[in-house]
Structure 1
Amino acid sequence: MKISMLRLPVYLFGLLVLGSSSSVMAEKNTITGPHKHMGVATCASSVCHGKPAPDANSYALLNEYRTWSREDLHSKAYKILFNAESKRMAKNLGLASAHTADICLDCHADNVPQSQRGPKFVIRDGVGCEACHGGSENWLDSHYKKGVTHAENLKAGMYPTESPKPRAEMCLSCHLGTKDKFATHRIMGAGHPRLAFELETFTANQPAHYVVDKDYLERKGQIESVTMWVAGVYYTAKQTLELYNSHLLTANGLIPELSFYDCHACHHPMDKKNWRQTSIEVGLKPGDLRLNDSALQMLIGISFIRDQEAAQGLLQLSRGLHVASRKDIATLRNASKQLLNQLAGMEDMLLRNYNRNEISELRKRILTKSAAGQYRDYTSAEQAFLAVETLTLALDQSERYANLMDSFYGSLASESAFQQTRFASLAQRLLSTMYP
């Protein structure tokens, strides 16, 4: 099954977050579980996943190691820590080196505790096989044997990357952060790029090391691309709210953790006098810091397709969150809790598969709001574009609208030169063409 490539700047695939954890390695919990990681070398031989070309006689391609090592940027994540920019960042942060600091290794490598490292484990491998598929201690010898089911491998510790929630949580653990590691404003100030992530787009743009064929579907099933996109948006919003509770405001801090706010609310030329209130910002005043709520904005649009009453409730609670972030810890946590409860009640409704009419209506809604200037900051405009691209691919219309989508994408080519009016104008052109 061919995976269509979505447009996205290449640098975004290198944004593996620098964590902020100061936890002792032995106490660190890993997303993928407690099993030992036996090392990339255990997968790389020519009789396993290191063949020079796909094996037509096997249910697996068996050249996965070569695809990862030659094409997948995850394999380069550790090496990045030796370049001049990483060295400069380490110096700015007062670290001895980037390649020895846990706050870097936690996401630029498979930095599991020493007790979980097998005899062939090498930290230099970067984000290797087991960083995503889980420690292979108990399934390394069984996963290729005939008669062993995928369910049995999962029970032995293999991580279910084919399922939306586990995949989202694993990817977001670095591309957004967890309570133990995330890219703080201090880390970004030292030189780390802004984090940007969208689950379906990043998945589609990774070099595929599997084929969704009959055998795959029998063993793992299939999640529709739009449903995976919705899942990514949903769990991004959920995890962001949970991070607000633990890290946004501190009892003794004069300044909140600024990495949770919309970067471009502050980092823009002062001669751009473009303040205006969008529908989600009711209650905020000029000059107020705006939380980075791009995932929530997408969820509100998605919700209106399925349940307008629930969507309206989500909109009102999202507005309350912005206002709460300007007050105190207790108010913020209460607003976050209300939103998390609302999202919990909407999960099943949101993550059901979408039919063609719903996909088309959802795309129309996002374009309508884009054209109306509701996604006026770069981050939300970026997510709106990625949504329109995913939905257009799902409708098999990417070739028909390729030129217009190229122009729409071009409006996001530069964060510093982003013009919301141009983005809105191009959204209107797309809207008028797709829905005459």
Structure 2
Amino acid sequence: MAATQRDRLLTFMGLVVALLISLPSAHGQAQGPQGAAAPNPDGRTPLIFGERYCAQCHAHPENYKAESVICRMNEATIWGTKDKHKNAFAVLSDPRGVQMGKILGIDVTTHRSCLGCHSVTDRSPVAAQAVGVAKPALRAQQFDAKGDGVSCVACHGAFREWVFEHTTFEDPKWRNLSRKEKEERYGMADLWDPVTRTKRCLSCHVGNYEEGNVLTHAMYAAGHPPLPGFEVSSFSEAMPYHWEYLGEKRQGRRPEVRKTLESMLDLDKLEHTELVAVSGLVPLRETLKLFAAQAEKDELGDIPGTRWPDFARFDCYACHHEVNRPNWRQTRGFPGVPGRPPAPSWPIALVGLGIEAANPQEAKPRLEQFDRRIKEFHAALSARPFGNKDQAIASARSLAGWIDEVLADLGKTPVDRAVAIRLLDRVCQTARSEIPDYDTARQLFWAFRTIYHEIEPKAGPDVPIAKVLQRTDEELGFSLPSAGTQEPIEATLAKRLKSVTDFDPAIFRARFAELAGLLPRH
């Protein structure tokens, strides 16, 4: 037996043994740190595996021939050395985390409101009924909360069934299952679906009431860094990402592996551009759903500071900003009544792109529908200080449902170069027609840069558009810090807050006027 084959066999045997050791007996109910793991109605078993379990394969590319697998098998190495998600639990014990716990009167290392985003908890329907309660699923022996933080199964699905089947990845029985079957029957999240992927990220980067992930104003006041605007492709680049995008999977695979990929995925679509379009719709939907859920419940169990109105659901910089005159905020005007804080504007910035990509033929009437609906929501927020709650809830729920209808069309129209150029033109129109705040401007900048780099991957730094983008970034400070540098949040936050304070919309609009004149036309 060749050495490579022997190594792979030994790795697989090790996986099976480790799995059997860590799993509950079939004759009794599994016992975890918090008691029995609750069975799901769909038959899937919540089980949290640690990164070390996945690394037995995904940190050893030498044991696999690249042409026989659909990934590089170095994913765990990249995650473990460069991704800040692995530090998510450890930072709870840093001085900032300890101080926050004292102020809030909770143990941040065990409280569900913290663990939901800083570790891996049971996100099954049963656990969702216990919002505010630290009730993690049964944990496999390989899981180390402090070392793993937000590890593999936080995104890919914390269920026993798919992890076990996944170890037999070359078995046609598993490989030939559809993405939908793997997700619904086995619990493996379909992260190739851009909507699923974005929602998974936003469950923490915006919040999700059903999962107990609600960042409140009390938490901000206690010292939690403010959440920035979110565009999934730009954030993924900065992680840095540990997977291969579809364009990277085109080369060097065996015919049967490529055939499997083609049966599941559209390898020719502009994946980054599609993610930008999704980032125009899903962040707003999740923001509206969180707003409505928190307003409906008025108070969320033992999560600190959730009594309505929670200032965290409004635009932070409506109150927290420099005081000087003249001021670009006065020039821009107000979306509602002056003195009454509005909802944040960044989730709206890219909505037009999502509508255009979903169905170009329906773009004009849908933009008109959106304009009417978002004005209704803003009017409800302006009806009285912090809004007419009942009207705002109804408007938020209605608009979120409308976004679902638009999202249902995504994928029906190919996201190709022609669509991408129209999206670039729409970004430029939006940037020039409005006076944006910093987070909104950054969303537009990220969207343009991401789409442009995908349709012009060989454009060097001396190309005129690339020069304007670089100059804009230097002047306004839009780029995210690379997680690969592991720079402390205190340092990166200080830079971001300075960029927010120094932001000049006139510079931003001038640069996008330049970009509009340089746009490719075909």
Q: Radius of gyration: which is bigger? A: 2
Q: What amino acid is the match of 2:58? A: H
Q: Is the 8 A contact 1:35 1:136 kept in 2?
A: yes
Whichever residue aligns with residue 408 of structure 1, its letter is T
Equivalent in the alignment of 2:58: 49
- The answer as to 2:123 corresponding to 1:123 is no
Task: Give the distance between the partners of 1:315 and 1:138, measured in 2 at CA.
Answer: 44
Query: Is 1:402–2:402 an aligned residue pair?
Result: no
For residue 255 of structure 1, report the CA deviation from its aligned partner. 6.4
Structure 2 length-normalised TM: 0.70
2:323: which partner in 1? 270
Alignment of 1:128-207 (within 5 A): 128-145=151-168, 146=170, 147=172, 148-149=174-175, 150-151=177-178, 153-154=182-183, 155-179=185-209, 180-196=212-228, 197-205=230-238, 206-207=240-241
What is the TM-score when the length of structure 1 is the normalising length? 0.83
The residue aligned with 2:277 is 230
Aligned partner of residue 138 in structure 1, secondary structure:
helix
**Which amino acid letter does the alignment assign opposite residue 353 of structure 1?**
P
Q: Deviations over 1:40-93 (max 9, x none)?
A: 232223xx2232768435414222222211122211212222322222322332
Residue 313 of structure 1 corresponds to 369
Partner Cα distance (2:188, 2:398) in 1? 34
Question: What amino acid maps onto 1:191 in structure 2?
Answer: G
Q: Equivalents in 1 of 2:39, 2:502: separation in Å?
A: 41
Moved more, 295-304 or 163-172: 295-304
Q: Which residue is equivalent to 2:348?
A: 296
Structure 2 residue aligned with 1:77 = 88
Equivalent residue letter for 1:117: R
3-state DSSP of counterpart to 1:44? helix
Give the Å deviation of 1:419. Answer: 1.5
Partner Cα distance (2:293, 2:144) in 1: 33
1:182, 1:232 → 2: CA distance?
20
The amino acid of 1:184's aligned partner reads T
Alpha-carbon contact 1:143-1:153 (below 8 Å) kept: no
- Structure 1, 64-73 or 248-257: larger mean CA deviation: 248-257
- Map residues 236-247 of structure 1 onto 2, 5 A cutoff: 236-247=283-294
1:231–1:369 distance in 2 versus 1, CA, 3 Å: closer
Trace 1:404-419 onto structure 2 (pairs within 5 A): 404-413=468-477, 414-419=499-504
Does structure 2 retain, via aligned residues, the 8 Å contact 1:67–1:209?
no
Once the two structures are overlaid, the 10-residue window that deviates more, 413-422 or 341-350, is: 341-350
Counterpart for residue 111 of structure 1: 121
Check whether the contact 2:45–2:160 (CA below 8 A) recurs between aligned residues: no
C-alpha contact (below 8 Å) 1:110/1:126 kept by paired residues: yes
Distance 1:431-1:177 versus aligned 2 partners, 3 A rule: same
Q: CA deviation at 1:269?
A: 0.8
Secondary structure of the 2:377 match is helix
Larger mean CA deviation between 173-182 and 114-123 belongs to 114-123
Answer 1 or 2: which has greater helix percent: 2
Report if aligned partners of 1:411, 1:419 keep a CA contact under 8 Å in 2: no
Deviation per CA, 1:331-363: give whole Å up to 9, x if none.
112222332243233223455433323322221
Counterpart check, 1:212 vs 2:273: no
Distance 1:182 1:114, change over 3 A: closer
How far off is 1:245 after superposition?
1.1
Cα 1:52/1:389, change in 2 over 3 Å: same
Residues 27 and 182 of structure 1: is their aligned pair in 2 closer, same or farther, counting only changes over 3 Å? farther
Counterpart-to-counterpart distance in 2, 1:189 and 1:114: 27
Amino acid at match of 2:197: R
- Per-residue deviation at 1:135? 2.5
> How far off is 1:411 after superposition?
3.9
- From the superposition, tell whether residues 115 and 182 of structure 1 become closer, same or farther in structure 2 (CA, over 3 Å): closer
> Shift of residue 158 of structure 1?
1.7
Displacement after TM superposition at 1:405 (Å): 0.5
CA distance in 2 between partners of 1:134 and 1:42 (Å): 14
Aligned to 2:488: none
Quote the Cα distance in structure 2 between the aligned partners of 1:383 and 1:53.
40
* 1:178–1:251 Cα change, 3 Å: closer
Q: Which residue of 2 aligns with 1:258?
A: 311
- For residues 509 and 105 of structure 2, what CA distance do their matches in structure 1 show? 43
Cα distance in 1 for residues equivalent to 2:91 and 2:113: 14
Superposed displacement of residue 163, structure 1: 1.2
Q: Which stretch of structure 1 is more off in the superposition, 231-240 or 353-362?
A: 353-362
AA in 2 matched with 1:170: R
The one-character-per-residue Cα deviations of 1:185-215 (angstroms, maximum 9, x if unpaired) are 1111112122122112222333323452453
1:346 aligned onto 2:406? yes
Supply the distance in 2 between the matched residues of 1:183 and 1:316 (Cα, whole angstroms).
29
Q: How far off is 1:403 after superposition?
A: 1.9
- Contact 1:262/1:379 (8 A) holds in 2: no
Name the structure 2 match of 1:337: 397
CA contact (8 A) 2:468 2:515 kept: yes
- Please state how far the C-alpha of 1:39 moved relative to its aligned partner: 2.6
- The CA deviation string for residues 392-430 of structure 1, in whole angstroms up to 9 with x for no partner, is 123216533222101222343211211222222222222
Q: Cα 1:229–1:27, aligned 2, differ >3 Å: closer, same or farther?
A: farther
Deviates more, 1:51-60 or 1:129-138: 51-60
- Please name the residue that 2:428 is paired with: 367
| Identity %, equivalent residues | 23
Q: Aligned-pair distance for 1:28?
A: 9.9
Q: Secondary structure at the match of 2:309?
A: coil
Pairing 1:427–2:512 present = yes
C-alpha separation between the residues in 1 aligned to 2:450 and 2:281?
15
- Tell me how many residue pairs correspond in the alignment: 406
Q: Residue 369 of structure 1 aligns to which amino acid in structure 2? A: T
